[in-house]
Amino acid sequence: MKSVVIERPDELRLQDRECLQPAAGEVRVKVKYASICGSDVHIWHGHNPFARYPRVIGHEFFGVIDAVGGDVDKARTGERVVIDPVVSCGRCYPCSVGRPNVCRELQVIGVHRDGGFSEYALVPATNATPIPDSIPDRLASLVEPFTIAANIAAFLQPTLHDIALIYGAGPIGLTVLQVLKGVYGVKQVIVADRLEERLAMASDNGADAVLNNSDTPLAAQLNGVEPTLIIDAACHPSILAEAAMLASPAARIGLLGFSGAPCTITQQSLTSKELSLFTSRLNSHRFPQVIRWFEQKRVQPEKLVTHYLPLSQIEQAMTLFEQDPRTCCKIILQIE
Ligand code: NAI
Ligand code: MN
């Protein structure tokens, strides 16, 4: 089988690998579509501190179960599935309180263990989540990025009357935008980015207002509007302090970034307004919920897709994704 292997940082290969049998508790998925995420590019360039090499990358993928290991119901063969990348121990404290995404022994498929940019992938049977026929093959891999938005939204509990501000109109900011509008019905969602093309995507994805903060700071553009809900999906360390300054008293702020650089903020700027800070990593059991949103058409995953490319063009696809944020949002790999 063909697999995309990062041998070591900066060395990407489309390799012929042996197609293995699933072990007990595992299924083998014949992968059909997989989408490229920023973290795949980070592993390629050696910028993901969790990655181990060599690694088959890809954590956003869809396919059909074609073999099952011992202890797995044989009737699952032929099931159409999307894969929850979170593999957890089920015993530690975070697992015991329903937070497997921060399990002490967390393994992320495509990061700590081999992933889905491959003709076949072995995954724990419990991570392979069935999807209904109403979700088309070519959009199914996008369930995973929407679980990122679902997870942070579950902490933030958006309401109709929130005034929301999203930093960043990349794939993550846009999934958050769609979830705030389509699922929670937030009436006013403002999106800030530095690229006009990305802001145009935000408008197309349902933003009520878009602001370009490349030259003029947001404070000068908001005309006194104080957001009650702020989500940082741009993830620069400087953003938190600005968000605290812009926020309404009693606002909630959601952070998604993994930067190792310190961010400077005073206690006063948080406590004087009694701001709540939430962070969110990957997802905790949110696949079924997002699959329902897809079925009910509460989100429009097709609006995120700018390219479909074959697996054979993986290096061109990753390069395009990395170097051309003005024309690229989600790139979906077709694996046949
Ligand atoms: P992306 O790089 O495609 O999008 C980021 C956007 O933010 C870009 O359009 C960029 O122009 C804009 N931007 C940068 N600085 C800005 C600023 N100061 N103000 C306004 N806009 C600004 O990235 P993507 O894929 O959308 O991911 C966003 C972030 O989310 C990344 O940092 C990633 O690490 C993080 N992430 C976190 C996850 C989690 O579970 N916590 C999961 C997935 C991604
Ligand atoms: Mn992803």
Contacts of 223 (CB under 8 A, 6+ apart): none
pLDDT of residue 189: 98
How far, in Å, is the centroid of ligand 1 from the Cα of 215?
A: 19
Binding-site residues, ligand 1, Cβ < 6 A = 38, 148, 167-173, 192-195, 198, 213, 233-236, 239, 256-258, 280-282, 325
Report the separation in Å between the CA atom of 249 and the middle of ligand 2, taken as the mean of its atom positions: 32
Domain with CATH 3.40.50.720 in the chain: 152-279
- Between CA 194 and CA 218 the distance in angstroms is 11
Using CB atoms within 10 A of its CB, is residue 195 exposed (0-12), middle (13-18) or buried (19+)? middle
Residues with Cβ < 8 Å from 149, sequence gap 6 or more?
Answer: 172, 175, 176, 178, 179
Decide yes or no: CATH 3.40.47.10 for domain 2-141+300-334: no
For residue 282, the ligand closest to its alpha carbon is 1
How far is ligand 2, taken at its centre, from the CA of residue 132, in Å?
22
Instruction: State pLDDT tens for residues 138-175.
Output: 999 999 999 999 999 999 999 999 999 999 999 999 99
User: Is residue 34 classed as helix, strand or coil in its secondary structure?
Assistant: strand
Find the mean pLDDT for residues 10-38.
97
Cα(296)–Cα(313) distance, integer angstroms? 33
Ligand 1 atom 23: residue of nearest CA: 170
Distances (CA, A) of 302 to 119, 297, 307: 23, 11, 11
Helix (H, G, I), strand (E, B) or coil at 305: strand
pLDDT at 50: 86
pLDDT digits (tens, 9 = 90+) for 43-92: 999 999 889 999 999 999 999 999 999 999 999 999 999 999 999 999 99
Of all ligands present, the nearest one to the C-alpha of 254 is 1
How does DSSP classify residue 113? B
Quote the pLDDT of residue 49.
Answer: 87
Instruction: State the pLDDT confidence band at 326, using cuts at 50, 70 and 90.
Output: very high
Q: Sheet harboring 209-212: ordered strands across? A: 209-212, 188-193, 163-167, 229-232, 252-255, 276-279
Atom of ligand 1 nearest to the CA of 169: 9
Kind of pairing between the strands at 128-130 and 305-310: unpaired
Q: 3-state SS of 179-207?
A: HHHHCCCCCEEEEEECCHHHHHHHHHCCC
Across the chain, what does the average pLDDT equal?
97
Q: Which ligand minimizes its atom distance to the CA of 321?
A: 1
Going from the C-alpha of 118 to that of each of 4, 20, 122, 231, 273, the distances in angstroms are 6, 12, 10, 33, 49
Would you give the DSSP letter of residue 92? S
Q: Residue 177: is its pLDDT beyond 90?
A: yes
Q: How far apart are CA 173 and CA 177, in angstroms?
A: 6
Q: Identify the pLDDT of residue 235.
A: 97
Least distant ligand from the CA of 60: 2
Q: How far is the CA of 110 from the centre of ligand 2 (A)?
A: 10
Phi/psi region, residue 9 (left: phi>0; alpha: psi -120 to 50; beta: rest), is: beta
CA–centroid distance, residue 211 to ligand 2 (Å): 25
Where would I find the beta strands (DSSP E) of the chain? 2-8, 11-16, 26-35, 55-56, 61-68, 80-83, 86-87, 107-108, 120-124, 128-130, 163-167, 188-193, 209-212, 229-232, 252-255, 276-279, 305-310, 330-334
Report CA 32 to chain centroid distance, whole Å.
19
**Domain spanning 152-279 has what CATH number?**
3.40.50.720
The residue contributing the CA closest to ligand 1 atom 10 is 168
CA-proximal residue: ligand 1, atom 3 (nearest): 170
- Within the chain, all domains assigned CATH 3.90.180.10 are found at 2-141+300-334
Averaged pLDDT, 273-301? 98
Give the pLDDT band (50/70/90) at residue 336: confident
Q: How far is the centre of ligand 2, averaged over its atoms, from the C-alpha of 71 (Å)? A: 30
Ligand lying closest to the C-alpha of residue 230: 1
Residue linked to tokens 């921060």: 102
Backbone phi, psi, residue 322, to 5°: -75, -40
Atom of ligand 1 nearest to the CA of 279: 41
Which of 297, 322, 293, 39 has the alpha carbon at shortest distance from 143? 293
What integer is the mean pLDDT of 253-261? 96
pLDDT at 223: 94
User: 256 alpha carbon to ligand 1 midpoint, in Å?
Assistant: 8
CA of 284 to the centre of ligand 1 (A): 20
> What is the number of the ligand 1 atom nearest to the C-alpha of 148?
40
- pLDDT band, residue 291 (cuts 50/70/90): very high
Query: Partners of 190 in the beta sheet?
Result: 165, 209
Q: Which of 235, 305, 321, 328 to mutate to test the pocket of ligand 1 (most atoms within 8 A of CB)?
A: 235
Q: Is the pLDDT of residue 119 over 90?
A: yes
